[in-house]
Structure 1
Amino acid sequence: MIKEVIVVEGRDDITAVKRAVDAEIIAVGGFGINAKVIGRIKEAQKRQGVIILTDPDFAGEKIRKIISKRVQGVKHAYISKDEGLKDGDIGVENASPESIISALEAAKFEVKEKRCEFSIQDMMYFGLCGNNKSKENRDRLGKLLRIGYCNTSQFLTRLNNYGITKDEFIKALEIIDKENENGKK
């Protein structure tokens, strides 16, 4: 598994990268990069490192510059226009798995062992799935851990891939419990 979190532009890019490598991926959603997405990228950079892999076009370069300006120390992976061209459309989503792997290798990614600190049993035990408060609990915990909101499966993946420790996890849950006791949300 690639240690760094890979930042791409959209969902089709996620699919293409997942065909090539096992990695945590953040899609920025094009030019609409908001503070929440930048916050997730900053947290990923702090915990695991980040590699930016955007389309080899004007928009991709602009997105790359926006992120680089706001998040220090990121690595850059590039595919050529030829590698990303298909039927007149240029993008990471058109690149072959081999081209994506080559681009990431050039960015000097690190490999780590897949981490399984947290399990689906943890999600159930701590009320993060399987009850009517699960969605709210994941949202609140995701904000405290700075990994964002997502469904149970994605949340479990982020806990493991971002290197969240059991200690951090428990401390965040304790904060939520205290807020609940005080009637705050």
Structure 2
Amino acid sequence: MALIEIEKVIIVEGKSDKKKVEKIINEPAEIICTNGTLSLSKLDELAESLFFKDVYILVDADEAGEKLRKQIKRELPEANHLYIDKMYRQVASAPEQHIAAVLLRANIDVHARYLS
């Protein structure tokens, strides 16, 4: 049995964000949970391991999310930034259909039941 090389990586803030995204996507992707913060050494290590992958940043639409987004942008300037509508503020509280639409626009396959 051959191992599947995972090409896409989605970086989220919390475990509830990770669970929500895992439920919605319909393709192999690594979902990395930062728990809201990343040390410089952890970010450097992460940047090195993600060099040849398609990286997507999906964080909350709040001050902490924007701070994390800026931090990641410095180390991973080629990453794709995905944005939820500010009215939902948090990935975990955004409707599944909204998250699915955001992911689909980034060419990430999602389960059809979340498209309405």
Regarding TM over 0.5, the answer is: yes
Task: Give ranges in structure 2 of 5+ residues lacking alignment.
Answer: 1-5, 110-116
In the other structure, the counterpart of 1:29 is: 35
Q: Tell me which of the two structures has the higher relative contact order, counting C-alpha pairs closer than 8 angstroms and 6 or more residues apart.
A: 2
Q: 1:47 and 1:54, CA in 2 relative to 1: closer, same or farther beyond 3 A?
A: same
The question of whether the paired residues in 1 share the 8 Å contact of 2:83 and 2:102 is answered with: yes
Distance 2:57 2:104 in 1: 13
In the other structure, the counterpart of 2:73 is: 68
The question of whether the paired residues in 2 share the 8 Å contact of 1:3 and 1:49 is answered with: yes
Alignment of 1:143-154 (within 5 A): none
Q: What is the CA RMSD across the aligned residues, in angstroms? A: 2.0
Q: What TM-score results when the alignment is normalised by the length of structure 1?
A: 0.49
2:12 partner letter:
V
More strand by proportion, 1 or 2?
Answer: 2
Task: Give ranges in structure 1 of 5+ residues lacking alignment.
Answer: 85-89, 112-185
More helix by proportion, 1 or 2?
Answer: 1
Q: Using the TM superposition, give the Cα deviation of residue 41 of structure 1 relative to its aligned residue in structure 2, in angstroms.
A: 4.2
1:78 partner letter:
Y
* Greater C-alpha Rg: 1
The question of whether the paired residues in 2 share the 8 Å contact of 1:42 and 1:71 is answered with: no
Identity %: 34
